[in-house]
Structure 1
C-alpha cells in the first residue's frame, strides 16, 4: 500500500506535469539536442543570475518583458502561432543532456536549484541544520559506494524470508511506510463528499511501466519498451543478488501484464464521480477476497470504518491475481520495487541502471543530473519546507506577493463577470457558481504555517537511513490526519516549485513563489505580458474549479450535483467539441493528443486565457494600450501566452507524455488561441491558415 505522502492532493490538478516519471525517483525532468552540462552549466548559471538579479534595471526579458528576439516573424501567426512567437528560440536552443525537455518551466527550475543550492551550501556549515545534514549525506558519494548494498540488504532479506502469502501481506504496510510500492496504493485525503473529514483512499497499482497500454497495446514502440523493461527487471534482480534472473523477469512481467489487464484507463481513473466508491471494511474484504485487506490495514495501525476505493473492479481483479500468483513472483516484484524506490540513495550501479531505463529509455535523457542537483531534489523531498522558508525569505519580495494578489483579484472578478454573462447557464446555477467563486481561498508564495520537522531524525553519515526515516515520517504524518481537523494551512507544493495548482476539496488556488517570475510574472514588465503569462495561469487554476471534474464540486468543496440538467448538457456539448479539436492533433505518425484525457487542462487553458484577456482589458479602464516595438497590447498579451509554453522535447519524452500526461504538448497548448475571437482581431489570420477556425467552430465555454 503505497501512501502518497510527498504530494498527495486528492482532487487537485497542477499547471504542468512536474516529473518525467512518477516511478523514476532519480530521473531528470527536462528536452532535444545535446549540450554538455560541464561545458554550459556555469555559463547558464551566470546568465540566470544576471537576468534575475533584483538589482537589474527593467524587466528580465527584452525591453518590455517579452523576448522578441526569440520570435520568427517570417512565420505566419495563423499558420503556426507557436513558431511565430518562439521560432528563433526553438532553433537556437539545445536541450541539456541531463534533461528530457527544456523550456520556460525548466529555466526557472534551474534558477530555483541554483538558489536552493546556495542556501544548502550555507546550511552544511551549521551543525544543527537538518537541511544541511541531509544535503551533506547525499553529497557523500564515496560513503554510499563504500557501504554498497549493506543498508538495503536487511530489508531485501525480510522479503526473501516471507514463507507464505500471509507473511508477504504483512510486509505490505511496512513497505508502504518505507516508501515501497505494492499491488495497490493508498493515501489519506479529504472525503470528496464530506470534505470536513479525512478518509483513506485506495487505488490500483502493481505495474512498473507508466501506463497499462505499454503492456497491452501491440505496436513497435511498446514492443521495444517491453523488451527493454524485461532486461531491466532481470538486471535489478541481479543487483539484488538473485540468480536465474531472465526467467524470473519474464514471470514478473507476465504478472504485471495481467494486472494491467484489470486496471482502469487513465480517463476513467480521472473521473471524480467514477472513482468515488465508499465502502465498509467488510465490503472491501468481500470484494477483494484474494487478499485480507482488513488485516493489512490493521497492520498499518489504522482505525477506520470506511474507505474510498477508486477503482473497485481493478482492486477486485488485483486481489484475485495476488491470490493466484506464485509466491516467488510476488516476492521478486517487491525486490525490484524496493531497488527502484531506493535507487537514488544506493550505489551508482543501481541508480545508473534505474535511470538507464526510466530516464533514458522512456524519456530519452542521455545523462543523470549532477550529484548536487540530485542532492537538492532529495533534500527538498525530506525537509522541503525548511528549505522553502529560507528560499522565500531570500528570493520572494513582499512587493511581488502584493502585486500578485492584485492580479488574482482582477482575474477572479473577470471570472465573476463571465459567469454572469453566460447564456447557457441557468440563473440558479449561476448563483451557486458565484457563491463558489466567492468562497475561493488563494495562497500565494509560501505557507502561513510551516511544517514541523522536529520529530524527524537525520544524520550526516546515513543517506539511506535518512530516506527511510523521512518516508516513515511522511507516512505517519499522513495517517495522523485520520480523525484530525482539516489542515487548511497545508500546501501540496514547495515555495521553490515552478508550478501552480487547484485543489477542489479545499476550493483553493495556489501559486508557489518560484513561478512568480519572468516570463510568467515580472513587476517591471508590460501589463499585457503579465496578464498573458501569470494572468492566464491564474485563470487556468480558477477555471479548473469549473472544468469537467472541478465543476462537480460545490462551494464547500463537496462532490455534488449542483448543475441543472440543461447546464450539464450545454457544458458537455462544448467539451465534446474541445475533445474533437485536440483529438485531431497528430504529434507523431499515428500518435495523437488524447482529447478526453487532456480535457480538464485544455478547458483550463481556454477559459484561463479568455478570463485573463477580460481582466487585462478591464485593467486599461477603457483606454487603449500603447504600441510597443510595433506590437499592440492585444498582440503582446497573446504572444506572452505563447512564450510561456516554449519547450523542446526529446522524442521519447514527448511520446511518453502523450500516453501519461493529462496536459497537451506545449505547442498545442499555445494553439488554444485559435478559439478566441480577439486573437483573430489581433493577428488577422487568413481563412486558409492552419489555425483558422470559422466562428461557429470556435469552442466557447466560459
Structure 2
C-alpha cells in the first residue's frame, strides 16, 4: 500500500482536475509590509486593462511567495483549509467518536501522534510478517508468502491492481504488472554511467540498513544486501522501460485465468488470485517475459535469497510508519536523495498522509458528513445540471461538428452521471479493531481493508464502485470511462463555491470549473469513448480538423502573453493548449447556464460571475517556480487563466463596458469560441 503506484489506465481514462495539485501552497502566507514611497503611484488597474489584477487586488496585496514557499495560490489555500478540517475531524474522533468509523480513525490518529509509543513499538508491527518470511524452507513456500503480503497491501515481486477493462468499460479486471523493485526506474539497475552507479551504491547502503533493522546479523549484511540487488536486477532486466508504459494500451493484454496456475506453477498464480478474492475469468498480463522470469527465479534462487528480498521489501515499505531508526533511514534515501527533500514533514502531516493512503475512503466518508451541508450539495448539483443543459443546448446550435457527431454527443451527454460529495456506492467499513498503542499495526489493519475493497472492484458491474480521488481532496474530475462528473466534498468551499456568496459568483467559479470538466467528454480525448461506453473514435476527420483549427487559434492567442515574474519569456500556447481550451469551454458553458438562470442581463450580477472566475486563479509565484512552470506545466499562469477566456466573451465586455481594442476584449473576428 505505501509507495503505491497508479493503476495503468487511471491517468489515461480519468480527466482529473485536482485543483491544488499543480501549485504548492501555504495558507499562512506572509503579508507584504506596506511602506511609504515618494515614487508616483502606479496607474490604477482597470477591469478592461487587466481583469485578473483588478479582481484580485486585495488578495495580491496580501500575499507573497516567501523564499521557502515556491508558490502561494488561492486554490492552494483551499487545499490547506481542507487539511486543517481533516485534522479537526480526527482530533474530534480521537476525543469523542460518534460512530465506529470515527472510533477507528480516532485510534489510528492517536497512535500516530504518540511518538513515544511508536518508538517503544519498534519493529513489532511487522514481527508477524517477518516470522512468516523467516519460516520459508523451500521454493513452494515462496509464492504463498508473496500472496499473503499482497493481502496486507505490501506488493512484492509484482504489482496487482484493479483497473478498467478496455473491452468493457463497465467493469474492472486485475492488472498484473511488473514491480517489486526498490528503485523507481528499472534503468537504474542496468545503466553504467557514473551518476547511476553512485546512486545504486547509496541504494545498496540503504538496503543494508533496512536488513539490519529487520534482523539480518551484522556478518551477513554485505552478502544479503548483494543478493537483494541481484534479484531486483534480474527483474529490472526484463521490465518494460517506463517510457513505453505511458501508452495505456500497452498495459492491456487480457489472458484467461484458468490456465495461469499451469503456466506459472512456481508462482502459483491461481492460488494467488484466490487469496486476493478474485473470481474473474480474465486478468491483464502485459509483460509475460517478466512473469516467466519471476516464475523461474522462485525455483532457481535459494530460499535464503528470497527471504532477504522479502524482508527488505517489508521493512522498506513499512519504514515510514515504524520507529525513528526506520524512518530516518527511509528519509535519508527516499526523501533526501530521491525526492530532494531538505527535512521530513511535520509529524501530523506524516500521520495524516498515512491515514489518507491506507484509510482515505473512511476519512472521506466522515469528512463529507461533517463539512458538506445538504443545502450546499443540492445547490452544487443544480449548478452542475444547469451547465450540463447549457452544453446540450450548445450542441443543438453547433456548426463545427458533423450532424452524426452531434447526435452521438447528445446521446453521450444524456447518459452523464453527476456525483457530488462522496461516491454513490458506499464501501464495507467492517475492519479489525484498532488500538492506540501501535501505529504500524493500525496501518497494516487499514491497508488490509483497503486492499480488500480494491479487489472487490474486479468483476462485472463494479466499475463505478469507487472514485480515484478522495472526498477530502479538493477536486473536480470528469471520469471518461464512466462518463461521470465527480465533485468532491472538499472542493465546495471558497474560492470555488462560496456557500455564503452570491449565486452569480458560484456560477463563475464552480460552474465554470464544471464546464471545464464536462468539456473533456466532448473534446479531442473525449471523442475516444462513445455514448455506449465503447472505446472508439466517434468523430469524423472534418471534426478533428475543426477542433485543431480552434485549438491552434487559441494557442496563438496565448503565445502572445508574457509570463509574469520572468523576463523575455512567453506562455507556450501549444504546451498549455488542452487546459486553455477547457478553460474557454468552461467559461462559455457556465455563462450560458447563468444567463438561462438569470432573466435579463443585470450588470452587477454579471460582474460577480466574472469575478468568481478570476478569484480561482490568484497566485504569487517565486521566479524559480515560475521558470519551472513556464517550461513544463500544462497550465498557463493564473493571470492568463483568468484573462485568456474572457477576452473572447462579448458578455464580459458588456458587463464592464469594455471596447474592442481594449486589452480585455478582442475584436469580434479575432475571438475564439468553442461552445457559444
Does the CA contact (< 8 Å) of 1:279 and 1:307 recur in 2?
yes
- TM-score, normalised relative to structure 2: 0.75
How far is the alpha carbon of 1:412 from its aligned partner? Answer: 0.9
State how far apart, in whole Å, the 1-side matches of 2:192 and 2:558 are.
Answer: 24
Alignment-derived partner of residue 262 in structure 1 = 241
Alignment-derived partner of residue 525 in structure 1 = 501
Alignment-derived partner of residue 511 in structure 2 = 535
For each residue in 1:486-544, what CA deviation from the matched residue of structure 2 results, as whole angstroms up to 9, or x when unmatched?
Answer: 37564444432211222233321121221111111113334553333212221122122
Does the CA contact (< 8 Å) of 2:65 and 2:621 recur in 1?
yes
State how far apart, in whole Å, the 2-side matches of 1:665 and 1:216 are.
Answer: 38
How far is the alpha carbon of 1:240 from its aligned partner? Answer: 2.9
2:435 partner SS: coil
Alignment-derived partner of residue 610 in structure 1 = 588
State how far apart, in whole Å, the 2-side matches of 1:574 and 1:486 are.
Answer: 38
Does the CA contact (< 8 Å) of 2:16 and 2:478 recur in 1?
yes
Residue 648 of structure 2 is aligned to residue 677 of structure 1: yes
Residue 101 of structure 2 is aligned to residue 130 of structure 1: no
CA RMSD of aligned residues (A): 5.4
State how far apart, in whole Å, the 1-side matches of 2:94 and 2:469 are.
Answer: 24
Alignment-derived partner of residue 151 in structure 2 = 177
Identify which of 107, 116, 137 aligns with 2:86. 116
Identify which of 388, 407, 426 aligns with 2:383. 407
The aligned runs of 1:456-495 (5 Å cut-off) are 456-483=432-459, 485-486=461-462, 488=464, 490-495=466-471
How far is the alpha carbon of 1:368 from its aligned partner? Answer: 3.4
Alignment-derived partner of residue 308 in structure 1 = 284
State how far apart, in whole Å, the 2-side matches of 1:512 and 1:409 are.
Answer: 16
Does the CA contact (< 8 Å) of 1:4 and 1:186 recur in 2?
no
State how far apart, in whole Å, the 1-side matches of 2:208 and 2:195 are.
Answer: 20
How far is the alpha carbon of 1:366 from its aligned partner? Answer: 4.1
Cα distance, 1:648–1:290 mapped onto 2, change above 3 Å: farther
For each residue in 1:392-422, what CA deviation from the matched residue of structure 2 results, as whole angstroms up to 9, or x when unmatched?
Answer: 3432222212221221122112211232233
State how far apart, in whole Å, the 1-side matches of 2:284 and 2:540 are.
Answer: 27
Does the CA contact (< 8 Å) of 2:171 and 2:462 recur in 1?
yes
Residue 370 of structure 2 is aligned to residue 394 of structure 1: yes
Cα distance, 1:110–1:389 mapped onto 2, change above 3 Å: same
Residue 209 of structure 2 is aligned to residue 238 of structure 1: yes
State how far apart, in whole Å, the 2-side matches of 1:605 and 1:509 are.
Answer: 16
Cα distance, 1:134–1:582 mapped onto 2, change above 3 Å: farther
2:617 partner SS: helix
Residue 599 of structure 2 is aligned to residue 621 of structure 1: yes
State how far apart, in whole Å, the 2-side matches of 1:174 and 1:594 are.
Answer: 49
Does the CA contact (< 8 Å) of 2:551 and 2:577 recur in 1?
yes
Does the CA contact (< 8 Å) of 2:123 and 2:322 recur in 1?
yes
Residue 395 of structure 2 is aligned to residue 440 of structure 1: no
State how far apart, in whole Å, the 2-side matches of 1:665 and 1:332 are.
Answer: 49
Does the CA contact (< 8 Å) of 2:495 and 2:616 recur in 1?
no
State how far apart, in whole Å, the 2-side matches of 1:226 and 1:616 are.
Answer: 60
Cα distance, 1:439–1:450 mapped onto 2, change above 3 Å: same
Does the CA contact (< 8 Å) of 2:400 and 2:543 recur in 1?
yes
| Structure 1 stretch displaced more, 352-361 or 410-419 | 352-361
The aligned runs of 1:35-54 (5 Å cut-off) are none
Does the CA contact (< 8 Å) of 2:48 and 2:664 recur in 1?
yes
State how far apart, in whole Å, the 2-side matches of 1:289 and 1:694 are.
Answer: 69
For each residue in 1:565-584, what CA deviation from the matched residue of structure 2 results, as whole angstroms up to 9, or x when unmatched?
Answer: 43345446656777899999
Alignment-derived partner of residue 479 in structure 2 = 503
The aligned runs of 1:62-81 (5 Å cut-off) are none
State how far apart, in whole Å, the 2-side matches of 1:304 and 1:280 are.
Answer: 9
Cα distance, 1:674–1:438 mapped onto 2, change above 3 Å: closer
Does the CA contact (< 8 Å) of 1:2 and 1:184 recur in 2?
no
State how far apart, in whole Å, the 2-side matches of 1:451 and 1:699 are.
Answer: 43
The aligned runs of 1:111-510 (5 Å cut-off) are 111-126=81-96, 129-156=103-130, 168-182=142-156, 184-205=158-179, 231-232=202-203, 234-241=205-212, 243-244=221-222, 258=237, 262-265=241-244, 267-269=246-248, 275-281=251-257, 296-298=272-274, 300-309=276-285, 312=286, 315-316=287-288, 318-319=290-291, 322=294, 337-356=313-332, 358-359=334-335, 365-447=341-423, 450-483=426-459, 485-486=461-462, 488=464, 490-510=466-486
Does the CA contact (< 8 Å) of 1:544 and 1:550 recur in 2?
yes
Cα distance, 1:301–1:403 mapped onto 2, change above 3 Å: closer
Identify which of 16, 19, 27 aligns with 2:18. 16
State how far apart, in whole Å, the 1-side matches of 2:435 and 2:545 are.
Answer: 58
Alignment-derived partner of residue 554 in structure 1 = 530
Does the CA contact (< 8 Å) of 2:507 and 2:609 recur in 1?
no
The aligned runs of 1:98-109 (5 Å cut-off) are 102-109=72-79
| Structure 1 stretch displaced more, 135-144 or 335-344 | 335-344
* Structure 1 residue runs without a partner (length 5+): 21-28, 45-71
2:604 partner SS: coil
2:79 partner SS: helix
Identify which of 599, 602, 611 aligns with 1:636. 611
Alignment-derived partner of residue 36 in structure 2 = none
* Structure 2 residue runs without a partner (length 5+): 32-41
